[in-house]
């Protein structure tokens, strides 16, 4: 075993800790880093974070157009499938046209009958004109007979009964004349001041024919807008009624985001402020740019199917959320399509707070319309005029 002998004049102690100078420098570095971090965080909050409002309670919204039929009928053909893209005006389904065609045939017969009835009434009016002349002659003749017999009664040259018969004949002739005058007025009231083309009865049946023709065109159900088919509830053989939902068409190229901000976040939100949107579908790789276009007039709870009854006595305060509509850049949506209902993350830059909280009062530029229901009824009018012309 070897022993160590301490020799005089040799220092055997070892320094186990850094000097006070090194410790002070390390402490200053740490303090500087912490202060820089604190200052940076403060500046970030003041210039960036405090000028933004964020929520992950946001979802993609879009128009959902429900396709319905305008007439009742039985589906005989379906030409669209779930998730299929359809164009505006594309034929979606066809209905059995038997009932519509029968109704059109009945309307055609009714129109022809009304024209003939008009001609009949016209002829009756002319007949009553001639009858009225005859009734006037009868009255004149009866009065002349009575006038000749009255002097003879003074000399008792004729019997009193004969004179009474003469007076009765005058009364009967005047009554017949009055009856003819009323019949003449009734007959002329149906035809005077009109032609076969302008007669009210003919016009009514003509319009009924046009309506029946329109219903034959409506046996073909078309898409009112372009979009993707969803919620399809349409099969051949199905009997449908007007207003019954058949399927939904969603134009996914025209979507927006409804961001539900807390009520405490609404103070700095204004219409027109820019926003950045991220989706769970694409993650952080895709950032959509949008603009605030509107703030809802009520909270989500106020528009719920069963609104809360806060006056019940067991009230617990819950922070409410208000939907904020954000319009997206159409080109970005076209490059990275979205689906209605997808979850989104919305961040609104509230640096510029000069915009309005509610839309400016005035006419709106928004307009949604479709022209597929516009029918050219000139063909039906031409057919109706041909029916009128064929009648004797």
Query: How far is C-alpha 355 from the geometric centre of its chain's CA atoms?
Result: 31
pTM for this predicted structure: 0.72
CA dihedral 354, 356, 361, 366 (to 10 degrees): 110
C-alpha pair distances (Å), 281 with each of 265, 296, 340: 26, 26, 12
Is-contact 57 343, C-beta < 8 A? no
pLDDT value for 270: 92
Alpha helices per DSSP H over 155-292: 160-191, 200-217
pLDDT value for 16: 47
pLDDT value for 327: 94
Detail the DSSP E strand segments found in 310-350.
321-328, 343-349
pLDDT value for 357: 86
| Bridge partner list, 289 | 276
pLDDT value for 159: 65
Residues of the chain below pLDDT 50: 1-5, 10, 12-14, 16
CATH 1.20.1260.10 matches 54-96+219-305+317-353: no
| Pair of tokens at residue 225 | 């807008």
Domain spans, the chain: 54-96+219-305+317-353, 99-197
Identify the CA nearest to 346 among candidates 253, 254, 250, 262: 262
Give CA–CA dist 136/132, Å, rounded: 6
Report angle CA 131, 132, 137 to the nearest 5 degrees.
95
Query: How far is C-alpha 63 from the geometric centre of its chain's CA atoms?
Result: 11
| Pair of tokens at residue 340 | 């209605």
Identify the CA nearest to 247 among candidates 285, 221, 270, 271: 221
pLDDT value for 39: 80
Alpha helices per DSSP H over the chain: 20-47, 98-154, 160-191, 200-217, 330-335, 378-390
| Bridge partner list, 55 | 346
Identify the CA nearest to 106 among candidates 213, 238, 237, 230: 213
Query: What is the DSSP code (8-state) at residue 313?
Result: S
- In the three-class reduction of DSSP (H, G, I as helix; E, B as strand; rest coil), residue 77 is classed as strand
């Amino acid at each position: 075993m070897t022993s160590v002998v301490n020799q005089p004049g040799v220092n055997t102690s070892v320094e186990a800790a850094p000097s006070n100078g090194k410790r002070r420098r390390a402490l200053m570095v740490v303090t500087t880093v912490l202060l820089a971090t604190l200052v940076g965080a403060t500046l970030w909050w003041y210039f960036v974070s405090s000028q933004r409002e964020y929520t992950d309670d946001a979802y993609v919204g879009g128009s959902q157009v429900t396709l319905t039929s305008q007439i009742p009928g039985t589906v005989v053909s379906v030409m669209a499938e779930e998730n299929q893209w359809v164009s505006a005006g594309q034929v979606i389904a066809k209905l059995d046209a038997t009932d519509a065609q029968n109704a059109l045939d009945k309307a055609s017969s009714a129109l022809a009958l009304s024209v003939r009835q008009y001609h009949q009434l016209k002829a009756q009016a002319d007949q009553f004109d001639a009858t009225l002349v005859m009734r006037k002659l009868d009255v004149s003749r009866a009065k002349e007979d009575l006038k000749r017999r009255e002097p003879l009664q003074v000399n008792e040259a004729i019997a009193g009964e004969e004179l009474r018969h003469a007076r009765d004949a005058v009364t009967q002739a005047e009554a017949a004349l009055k009856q003819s005058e009323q019949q003449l007025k009734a007959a002329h009231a149906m035809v005077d001041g009109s032609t076969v083309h302008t007669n009210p009865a003919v016009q009514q049946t003509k319009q009924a024919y046009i309506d029946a023709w329109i219903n034959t065109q409506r046996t073909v159900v078309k898409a009112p807008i372009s979009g993707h088919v969803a919620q399809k509830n349409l099969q051949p053989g199905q009997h449908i009624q007007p207003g019954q939902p058949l399927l939904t068409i969603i134009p996914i190229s025209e979507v927006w985001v409804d961001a539900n901000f807390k009520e405490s976040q609404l103070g700095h939100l204004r219409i027109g402020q820019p926003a950045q949107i991220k989706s769970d579908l694409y993650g952080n790789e895709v950032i959509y740019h949008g603009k605030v276009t509107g703030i809802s007039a009520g909270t989500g709870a106020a528009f719920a199917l069963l609104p809360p009854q806060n006056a019940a006595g067991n009230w617990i305060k819950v922070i409410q959320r208000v939907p904020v509509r954000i319009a997206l850049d159409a080109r970005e949506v076209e490059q990275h399509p979205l689906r209605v209902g997808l979850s989104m993350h919305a961040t609104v830059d509230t640096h510029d707070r000069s915009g309005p909280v509610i839309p400016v009062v005035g006419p709106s530029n928004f307009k949604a319309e479709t022209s597929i229901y516009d029918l050219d009824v000139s063909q039906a009018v031409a057919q109706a005029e041909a029916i009128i012309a064929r009648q004797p």
